[in-house]
Structure 1
Amino acid sequence: MSIRMKLLLSYAAMLVIPIIMMIILSLLMIVFFRGDLQNMKGLYETTEQRFDHENTEHIVKELSRSVKREPELLLDRGYLDELTTELKDEDAGIVVRIGDAIIYQSSSMDKIPAVTADLPPYSKKDAYSLYPLMKEDNASYSFVQFDFSYRDNEQGTLFIISKVDPLMYYIRQYFPTLFIALICVLVLTHVLLTAYMSKQIIRPLRALRNAAREIKEGNLDFELKIDSRDETGQLGIAFEEMRSRLQHSLQMQAQYEENRKELIASISHDLRTPLTAIQGYIDGIMDGVADTPEKSQKYMQTIARKAEEMEHLIQELFLYSKLDLNRQPFHMESVKLLPLLLDWSEELQFELEKRGIVFDRDIRIETDTVVSLDMDHFKRVLNNIIQNSVRYMDKPTPKIRLLAYCREDQAIMEITDNGVGIEPHALAHIFERFFRADESRSAHTGGSGLGLAIAKQIMEGHGGTIEAASKLTVGTVITLSLPITSDKGMINDEESTAH
C-alpha cells in the first residue's frame, strides 16, 4: 500500500470515527434524558412544542389538556395559584384573559409589564400558538397562547410566559443546521489537511522517486529541488548531495581515463623517438654502413645519447607518478634559505656562463630566514625551471635573473628570463604533465614535458606555490613561494616592487 493511500485512509478514519462517536453519544444522551429512542423525533420539532425546562413543558401539556376538558378551571383562583407556585421555580408564570380583561396574572409577571401589555389577540377556539422570543430588561421571554371558549361562547385565553436562555433556545432551534455545519467543517478541514500533507510529503517523495529513476537510467545531469526543511526535505538534500558527488566522481573517473589515454599516448610518442633513432643506428651498424672506426664511434655515441634520453624520461615519469600518488617521501629539514640560494646561484652562474648566458642575482633575504624543505627536491625544482628557461632562449644576449625577498610570512623567489615567452592560451597549462608550448613535440626543443609538472608537485608538497607570468617575445617569470618557519630575518619588501 502506498504512503499516499495510507495517509488518505488515516485521515478518513480521523474524520469518520469522530462523527460516529458523536452520533452514538447523541443517541445515548437521548436515551438517558428522554427515556427511549421513540422521542428522538422531538429533537427536530420546532420550538412551538418545546420549552427551556422539562418541568415547564410537562405543566403546559397537562394544563392544555385540562383546559380543553374543563375551561372553568381557569376561573378557579386556587387552582391558578397552585400552577403559579409550580411554575415559579421554572422562571415562568401565567396570565388569564377573558374577553379583553385580564382576570389573573402571576405575581412574577408584574415585573415585565411590557410583555403582558402587548399580548396577542384571541385567535380561535382550541388554538395553540407559541411566539418568538421577546426582549425585556436584557432578558428573553417565550410565551404560549391557548384560546378557549366558555359555555356561553365567551372568548378566553391562557398565556404561559417563561423566561428562557437565548443560547439554549437558538441551539434547540438550529440544532440540525449546527450539526450539519459541524460535519461540513470537519470534512472540509480534513480534505484541506489531506491536500496539504500530500503536497508536503507525497510530492517530495515523488520527486525523489523520479530522481532515483533518472540515476538508474544513468542520467546525472539534473538538479533535485526540494524547498521543505522537514525530514523529507533533509532526505532530499542528502539525495541531491549524493547525486552531485556521484556525478563529480564519474566526471573525475572520465577525466582520469582521458588523462590515462593521454599519458600513454605521450609516453609512447616520447619513447618512440629515441627508440627509432637507436634502432636505425643499430641497423646501420649491422648492415655495415658504419664501415670505418670513426663512423662506428659516432653511431655508438648517438645510441648512448638516445639511451640516456630514454633513461631520463623514464626517471622523470617514475618520479612524477610517485609524487602524484603521494608515495614520494619528503625528507623535510629546517634550512637557512640565504646560504642555500647563494651556493646554488654560484654553481648556476658558472654553468650558464659556459653557455654564454648572463646570470644576475638579487637576494634580499637575511641570514636568519629559515624554511622547511627537502633540499634535493627543492634544488630539482630550481634546476627544472632553469633548464626550461635555457631551452627556449632566442635572444642574442640571453639573460636569467634571480630575485629573492620576503613578503609577510612567505619567502618569494622570482626567476626571470628573456626567452621566447609563452602564448597566453598555453600559459595556464604549462604545469600540466607532458604539456609543451611547441605542440609538434620536436626534438629540437627537447625535454620530457614533465619538468614543470614535477616542480608543481614538489612545491605543493612543501606547502608552497609556483606561478608563471609571461609576455610573448619578451620573456617569462616563474614565481616560487615557501612558508617561513622562523619570523627572523623578514624584511620590508617594498624594494621588491621596484623589480
Structure 2
Amino acid sequence: MSIRLKLLISYAAMLVVPLVLMIVTALLLVFVFRGDLQNLKSLYERQLEGIEDSDVHYLIKNTIADNPELLTDTRYLDELSNELQARNGFIAVRIGDRLLYASEQIKDNADLVSGLSPFKHRGYRNDAPTRNYGNDLYAMKQFDFVTADQRPGSLFLLNKVDPLVFYARKYFPSLFIALVVILVLTHSLLTYLMSKNIIHPLHELRRAAREIKEGNLDFRMKVGGNDEIGQLGVAFEEMRSRIQDSLRIQKQYEENRKELVSNISHDLKTPITAIKGYVDGILEGVADSPEKTQKYMKTIAAKAEEMDQLIDELFLFSKLDLKSIPFSFENVPVLAFLRDWTEDLQFELEKKSVRLETDIRSGTDGVMLVDRDKLNRVLTNVIQNSLKYMEKKDKIIAVEAWDDGEQLHLEIRDNGPGIDAEALPYVFDRFYRAEQSRNTDTGGSGLGLAIAKQIMDGHGGDIRAESQEGEGTTLVLTLPIRREG
C-alpha cells in the first residue's frame, strides 16, 4: 500500500470517526434527557412544546369549543396563566378591539400587545412565526372564537423562547451541513497539504536514487524541512556529496597512479639505457684500454646508485603517502638542534664552495616534539634542492630562525635562479619539476620537496615556498613548539 493511500485512509478516518462519535453522543444524550427517540422529532418541530400537548392546552381547546364564556372570566384566566407560567408560557385574551386579559409578565410589553394579530373567523387557528417583541423573543399561537353575545374574540398563547436555543433549533440543518462541509474541506485541504509535504520529498528522493543508480552524481537534492523526511533528505544529500567526492578522489588517484607509472618508467629508463650503453661498449671492445674501461665502470656504478636513490625516495614517499611509516617523536631543544644542524651544514657546504649565512635569534629556547631523523631528511632535501639549481659564481645559502611563542619559523634562502610564478604552486607535487626535461643532473627525481611536505604534515607543521625569478628561492618551515618549564 502506497504512503499516499495510507494518508488518504488515515485522514478519511479522521473525518468519519468524529462524525460517528458526534451522532452516537447526540443519541445517548437524547436517551438520557428525553427518554426515547420519538421525542427527538418533537424537540425540533415544536416551538411551544410546554403548552401544546399539556392538559391546560387541552382544556383551552375544549373551552373554546364548548364554553367560550370562560375566557371572559378573570379568575379562570388567572388560574390558567399560573399553570402556564410554570412552563414559561403566557396568555392574552382580546374581545373585540379591547384586550380583556394578559398575563402579568407580558401586559406591560407594548410591542407585544400592539402586535397581536387581528380576528379572522370562528375556529381560526394560527401558529405565528417566532419573532422579537421588544427585547424578548416569543412564539405565538392564535385561536379565534365568538362569545355568546356574538362578539369576536381571540385567545393568544405565548411562549418565551431562549434566542440561542431557538436559533440553534431553527438553523440546525444549515449549521450541521455547514459543519460537515467545513470538516470535509478542512480535512481535504489538510490531506492535500500533508500529502504534498510528504509525497513531493519522497518523489525527490526517488529521483535522486535513480540518478545515483545511473551513475550521475552531478546534482543537488532539494529536500528541506525539519521533519524526519527533511532529515532523510539532508542525509541523502550528504551521502551523495561524499560519494561524489570519493569518486573524484578515486579518479584523481587513478590519474596520479598513471602519472606515477609514467614518471617512474621515464626516470628508471634513463639510467638503465645509459648502463646498457656502457655495458655494450665494454662487451664490444669500445673500452679498449684499462683507463676507458675504468671510466665506463664508474659511470655504470653512478647510474646504478642514481637508480637506487630514486627507488629509495619512491619507496619512502609511498609509505608516507599511505601513512604506513611510523614517526618516532621525541622532545628536542630547538636551539641545540639548530646549532648542531647549521654546524654540520656549514662543513658540507664549504666542500662545495657555498657560503652559509645564519641568523638564529635569541629566545629560540623552546622544545619541539619531532622525529629527529625525518626532520633532518626534510632539511637535507631542501638544501639539496637549492644546490641543484645554483649556477652563480658566488653561491650563498642563508638560514634564519625565530619563534613567536607558539611556532618555530625557519627560513632557508638561496641566491639561485628562482622559480617561475606559474610553477611555484606545484613545487611540492610529486614528480613535479620546473625544468620539464626531467634531466636528473638538474632536476632530480621530483620527489624531494613532496617528501618534505609529507613529513612536515606528519609533524603538524607546514612548509611553503616563496620565490622571485632571478633573485632566489626561500623555503619557510613552521613547527609547533612549547616553552621549557
TM-score in same-fold range (> 0.5): yes
Question: One-letter code of the match for 2:257?
Answer: R
In the alignment, the residues of structure 1 paired with residue 433 and residue 183 of structure 2 have an alpha-carbon distance, to the nearest angstrom, of: 78
Instruction: Find the counterpart in structure 2 of residue 57 from structure 1.
Output: 52
Aligned alpha-carbon RMSD (Å): 2.5
Question: One-letter code of the match for 2:159?
Answer: S
Work out whether 1:326 is the aligned partner of 2:323: yes
The 3 A distance-change label for structure 1 pair 361 and 161 is same
Work out whether 1:105 is the aligned partner of 2:102: yes
Provide Cα deviations, 1:123-164, integer angstroms capped at 9, x if missing partner. Answer: 34413131432244x433332222233577532111112221
Instruction: Find the counterpart in structure 2 of residue 10 from structure 1.
Output: 10
Question: One-letter code of the match for 1:181?
Answer: A
Instruction: Find the counterpart in structure 1 of residue 130 from structure 2.
Output: 132
In the alignment, the residues of structure 1 paired with residue 59 and residue 259 of structure 2 have an alpha-carbon distance, to the nearest angstrom, of: 114
Instruction: Find the counterpart in structure 2 of residue 362 from structure 1.
Output: 359
Question: One-letter code of the match for 1:13?
Answer: A
The 3 A distance-change label for structure 1 pair 8 and 61 is farther
Residue 227 of structure 1 and its aligned partner are, at CA, apart by: 2.5
Provide Cα deviations, 1:419-446, integer angstroms capped at 9, x if missing partner. Answer: 1111222111111111111122123314
Residue pair 2:415, 2:471 contacting (<8 A) in 1 also? yes
Structure 2 counterpart SS, 1:90: coil
The 3 A distance-change label for structure 1 pair 357 and 33 is closer
Runs of at least 5 residues in structure 1 that lack an aligned partner in the other structure: 489-499
In the alignment, the residues of structure 2 paired with residue 30 and residue 366 of structure 1 have an alpha-carbon distance, to the nearest angstrom, of: 99
In the alignment, the residues of structure 2 paired with residue 67 and residue 88 of structure 1 have an alpha-carbon distance, to the nearest angstrom, of: 19
Structure 2 counterpart SS, 1:159: strand
In the alignment, the residues of structure 2 paired with residue 120 and residue 166 of structure 1 have an alpha-carbon distance, to the nearest angstrom, of: 22
Residue 310 of structure 1 and its aligned partner are, at CA, apart by: 0.3
Provide Cα deviations, 1:154-177, integer angstroms capped at 9, x if missing partner. Answer: 321111122211111111111111
Structure 1 counterpart SS, 2:449: helix
Equivalences for residues 49-448 of structure 1 within 5 A: 50-51=47-48, 54-59=49-54, 62=58, 65-66=61-62, 69-70=65-66, 72=68, 73-77=70-74, 79-125=76-122, 126-136=124-134, 138-150=135-147, 154-366=151-363, 368-448=365-445
Residue 34 of structure 1 and its aligned partner are, at CA, apart by: 6.9
Work out whether 1:472 is the aligned partner of 2:469: yes
Runs of at least 5 residues in structure 2 that lack an aligned partner in the other structure: none
Residue 182 of structure 1 and its aligned partner are, at CA, apart by: 0.9
The 3 A distance-change label for structure 1 pair 262 and 297 is same
Residue pair 2:121, 2:144 contacting (<8 A) in 1 also? yes
Residue pair 2:433, 2:443 contacting (<8 A) in 1 also? no
Give TM-score scaled by structure 1 length.
0.89
Residue pair 1:365, 1:406 contacting (<8 A) in 2 also? no
Residue 32 of structure 1 and its aligned partner are, at CA, apart by: 6.9
Structure 2 counterpart SS, 1:479: strand
In the alignment, the residues of structure 2 paired with residue 107 and residue 208 of structure 1 have an alpha-carbon distance, to the nearest angstrom, of: 79
The 3 A distance-change label for structure 1 pair 402 and 31 is closer
The 3 A distance-change label for structure 1 pair 37 and 261 is same
Residue pair 1:129, 1:146 contacting (<8 A) in 2 also? no
**Structure 1 residue ranges (4+ consecutive) displaced by more than 4 angstroms after TM superposition:** 24-45, 76-79, 150-153
Residue pair 2:111, 2:133 contacting (<8 A) in 1 also? no
Count of matched residue positions in the alignment of Structure 1 and Structure 2: 482
In the alignment, the residues of structure 2 paired with residue 55 and residue 284 of structure 1 have an alpha-carbon distance, to the nearest angstrom, of: 138
Deviates more, 1:391-400 or 1:102-111: 102-111
Question: One-letter code of the match for 1:120?
Answer: S
In the alignment, the residues of structure 1 paired with residue 249 and residue 297 of structure 2 have an alpha-carbon distance, to the nearest angstrom, of: 46
Deviates more, 1:72-81 or 1:463-472: 72-81
Structure 1 counterpart SS, 2:107: helix
The 3 A distance-change label for structure 1 pair 81 and 344 is closer
The 3 A distance-change label for structure 1 pair 4 and 63 is farther
